[in-house]
Amino acid sequence: MAALPKKMKAQVFYEKEKMRLEEIPVPKIGDDEVLVRVKACGVCGSDIAYYYGQSPLETPSGKGPLVLGHEFTGEVVQVGAVPARGKLFAPGDRVVLNPVQYCNACAICAKGYTNLCENKGILGVADNGGFAEYCASKYTGVIKLPKNVSYEEGALTEPLACASYGLKNLQVEPGNFCVIFGPGPIGLMMLQLVKSSGAGTIVMIGGPGDDYRLKAAGKLGANVLINCIEKGSPYFAADVKAKIAELTDGKMANRVIVPTGSVDAMEMALELSGRRSIIVYFGLPSANAVIRVPALKSIFWDKTIRFSWLAPFTWPTALEAIANKLVDVKPLITHTYPLAKLEQALHDLPKRKGNAMKAVIIP
């Protein structure tokens, strides 16, 4: 293979709404690392929040310099001594990166709670990530892509892995009446996972500006579409609780998952859920958000409330779901941008320009 360049192009974030396309050194890898040439990197809502200074995941200073981007695929170009000795990877391998790089040595990791590792590094959040031409990763965070999964599709593995962990916590049983709040990319992935798990009726609930996303949800298998805010919407329901009661003969939902940070949605989830129901909170609210729980009724109805964070041991599940077409991520990729236009993507996506769903950056 050709010699590696000494410099690479990268989008370097400095502080709120300040990012520059620069030439910086190509990372030098350690013995336990792999260097990849980035092929595709998805833009996550947390990237947008970080850029606008709204993220609860900020570094202590809230500033860079830092290369964002944690949903990415690439081609292996260099392999450190440890993975080379094990013949785990070779230049030319097509891979996806797990950005949550846990230590696998602390007491928490030993219990299998790798998403909660106190020593973890996260590519694109605390360490340089995928909005660049090259990125270094611990070899334990490198996973080979199936042959029938494109780089662009593979870039959605990370959010799908997180969605898969949410599904695991939801414990869907065949025939369950399921409600999903938020028809964004994660919500539409969860919809497909819930459907493939045998759910009976699936309700997708959206709000302002969500009608085109609700329509997409219908195409992907949602049985009932509700816009709970916009009166002019063809999907408008003035009283969502009454609608769910009508659809379930008063039994309410068996399973509710909330892939949005809206506290209103989180509290409505409690109102829509029935006896022995499971509610999973997935989206990130603001740092000071508080959820009010109707305690007595929740106890009388024996409800389970769970929270879902990151994607411990769900990467094989996510990749297999894409490879076997259980989850179709292609319709979710509505826009692509070159690396030089990353800031444009960060401006366009919150405005839902061009009915945006998910954008992927191609370095």
DSSP string, 299-349: HHTT-EEEE--S-TT-HHHHHHHHHTTSS--GGGEEEEEEGGGHHHHHHHG
Predicted confidence at residue 24, as pLDDT, reads 98
Q: Which amino acid belongs to residue 359?
A: A
Asked if pLDDT for residue 1 goes beyond 90, the answer is: no
Instruction: Tell me whether domains 7-156+329-362 and 169-307 share a fold.
Output: no
Diameter over CA atoms, the chain: 67
**What tokens were used for 269?**
């989830």
* Residue range 183-201: mean pLDDT, rounded: 98
Pairing type for strands 18-25 and 7-15 reads antiparallel
Q: Domain residues of the chain, as ranges? A: 7-156+329-362, 169-307
Angle 171-176-180 (CA atoms, 0-180°, nearest 5)? 75
Average pLDDT over all residues of the chain: 96
SS3 call for 235: coil
Alpha helices, DSSP H only, in 146-262? 151-154, 157-170, 185-196, 211-219, 240-247
Asked if pLDDT for residue 137 goes beyond 90, the answer is: yes
Do the beta carbons of residue 159 and residue 71 sit within 8 Å?
Answer: yes
- Count of Cβ atoms closer than 10 Å to residue 314 Cβ: 22
* Residue range 16-24: mean pLDDT, rounded: 96
Q: Which residue has the tokens 């919150």?
A: 350
Predicted confidence at residue 303, as pLDDT, reads 98
Predicted confidence at residue 56, as pLDDT, reads 72
Asked if pLDDT for residue 349 goes beyond 90, the answer is: yes
Query: What's the CA dihedral at 158, 153, 155, 39 to 10 degrees?
Result: 160
> What are 203-216's pLDDT values in tens digits?
999 999 999 999 99
Label residue 96 by pLDDT band (50, 70, 90).
very high
Give the rounded percent of residues in the chain with a pLDDT score beyond 90: 94
* Residue range 206-231: mean pLDDT, rounded: 97
Do the beta carbons of residue 37 and residue 152 sit within 8 Å?
Answer: no
Architecture, CATH, for domain 169-307: 3-Layer(aba) Sandwich (3.40)
- CATH number belonging to domain 7-156+329-362: 3.90.180.10
Asked if pLDDT for residue 62 goes beyond 80, the answer is: no
Q: What is the pTM of this model?
A: 0.95
Asked if pLDDT for residue 60 goes beyond 50, the answer is: no
- Measured in degrees and rounded to the nearest 5, phi and psi for residue 256 equal -135, 130
Label residue 157 by pLDDT band (50, 70, 90).
very high
Predicted confidence at residue 268, as pLDDT, reads 98
> What are 269-311's pLDDT values in tens digits?
999 999 999 999 999 998 899 999 999 999 999 999 999 999 9
Cα distances (angstroms) measured from residue 235 to each of 207, 232, 354: 10, 8, 21
Start-to-end CA distance of the chain, whole Å, equals 19
* Residue range 133-151: mean pLDDT, rounded: 97
CA 101 from chain centre, in angstroms, equals: 16
Predicted confidence at residue 299, as pLDDT, reads 98
Label residue 3 by pLDDT band (50, 70, 90).
confident
Do the beta carbons of residue 31 and residue 17 sit within 8 Å?
Answer: no
Label residue 55 by pLDDT band (50, 70, 90).
confident
Is it true that the peptide bond before 65 is cis, omega within 30 degrees of 0? yes
